A = this chain, B = another copy of it.
Amino acid sequence: MPDDSEITLSPPERALHERYGTLMGPPAAWNDVLAALLAHRSVRSYLPDALDPGTLELLVAAAQSAATSSNLQVWSVIAIEDPARRERLAQLAGNQRHIAEAPLFLVWLADLSRAQRMADRAAAPLEALPYTESFVMGVVDAALASQNAAVAAESLGLGIVYIGGMRNHPQAVAAELGLPPQVVAVFGMCVGKPNPSVVTDVKPRLPQCVVLHHEQYSIAREAEGIAAYDASLTRFQQKQEMRPVGWSGSILSRLKGPGSLSGRHVLREVLARMGFPLA
């Protein structure tokens, strides 16, 4: 069997090969949008260059173009350029240096407070906000919006990385950002020009047979798919000079217990204090 690297692949075949760490047939269709989506990789080293004027507004226009539950738009975003504030947020996220390094840090918020203020101004009853459903709508709205912004940023040659570490200390993040009650940072996102001296690669994902089900949920091909993925992720880690632990080991270690959640095991009670009782 020839080594993968000896085979000449078309750009779409190459994109699928990198995404799955294994050779696949040519896709059914291809275009610039698919190429952009498939090429995503997280960037954790940035040039200090400021973004071109108007870039932020384009990213937000893309974000606002995503679907939103019943057009409620229960999300907001804070754009942070101030280096001192980025430094403090980097600390709150477990000292992630790329937050201090990238020129723009976006914090994506589930925001029920706007609806609350509208009701207050109209002296209208608004009793749906304390429910878990409303929190879920805010989280989903923020996530759909942010993903559009991520795709937009990458289409402009910028790099991004999501920062779940905004949930390590949600109340301290809220204080730093002046958030009112009923607003919480769901995650952050670094945006900037990738440092060209640091090579980033597309990280392979699980085979489709593990995540894609037909008609009903099925685990028929799960064990086989995960075994193949452990092997391909180990190859990727070796190439990256990372510890070759595969995937299963890292999942079990990340979810071992409340202590492996970077302090986020208290999220429920912190959310309650922030105006999300999750009734």
By a CB distance below 8 angstroms, the chain B residues around A147 are: 66, 143-144, 147-148
Query: Of the 9-residue stretches A2-10, A57-65, A193-201, which lies at the interface with chain B?
Result: A57-65
Q: Decide if B156 touches A57 in the complex (CB within 8 Å).
A: no
Given A128-B257, A250-B71, A265-B133, answer yes or no on A34-B62 (Cβ-Cβ < 8 Å). Answer: yes
The smallest C-beta distance from A245 to any residue of chain B, in angstroms, reads 11
Residue A177 CB within 8 A of the other chain? yes
By a CB distance below 8 angstroms, the chain B residues around A143 are: 139-140, 143-144, 147
* Nearest B residue to A75, CB-CB: B211
By a CB distance below 8 angstroms, the chain B residues around A56 are: 212
Partner of A28, one of B58, B66, B279: B58
Given A33-B33, A70-B164, A136-B139, answer yes or no on A79-B128 (Cβ-Cβ < 8 Å). Answer: no
By a CB distance below 8 angstroms, the chain B residues around A172 are: none
The smallest C-beta distance from A212 to any residue of chain B, in angstroms, reads 5
The smallest C-beta distance from A29 to any residue of chain B, in angstroms, reads 6
Residue A214 CB within 8 A of the other chain? yes
By a CB distance below 8 angstroms, the chain B residues around A218 are: 178
Within 8 A of B (CB), among A206-247: 206, 208, 210-219, 222-223, 226, 247
The smallest C-beta distance from A262 to any residue of chain B, in angstroms, reads 9
Partner of A216, one of B29, B78, B151, B248: B78
The smallest C-beta distance from A223 to any residue of chain B, in angstroms, reads 7
Q: Decide if A52 touches B28 in the complex (CB within 8 Å).
A: yes
Residue A72 CB within 8 A of the other chain? yes
CA distance A262 to B250 in the complex (A): 39
By a CB distance below 8 angstroms, the chain B residues around A114 are: 210, 222
Given A64-B205, A70-B254, A118-B248, answer yes or no on A27-B213 (Cβ-Cβ < 8 Å). Answer: no
The smallest C-beta distance from A158 to any residue of chain B, in angstroms, reads 11
Within 8 A of B (CB), among A1-55: 16, 19-20, 27-29, 31-34, 36-40, 42, 52-55
* Nearest B residue to A30, CB-CB: B58
Given A260-B128, A278-B278, answer yes or no on A208-B64 (Cβ-Cβ < 8 Å). Answer: yes
Given A75-B211, A140-B139, A222-B117, answer yes or no on A255-B126 (Cβ-Cβ < 8 Å). Answer: yes
Q: Decide if A78 touches B208 in the complex (CB within 8 Å).
A: no
Contact sample, A vs B, 11 pairs, CB 8 Å cutoff: A27-B54, A34-B62, A34-B152, A38-B65, A40-B66, A72-B255, A78-B215, A79-B213, A80-B215, A128-B265, A177-B213
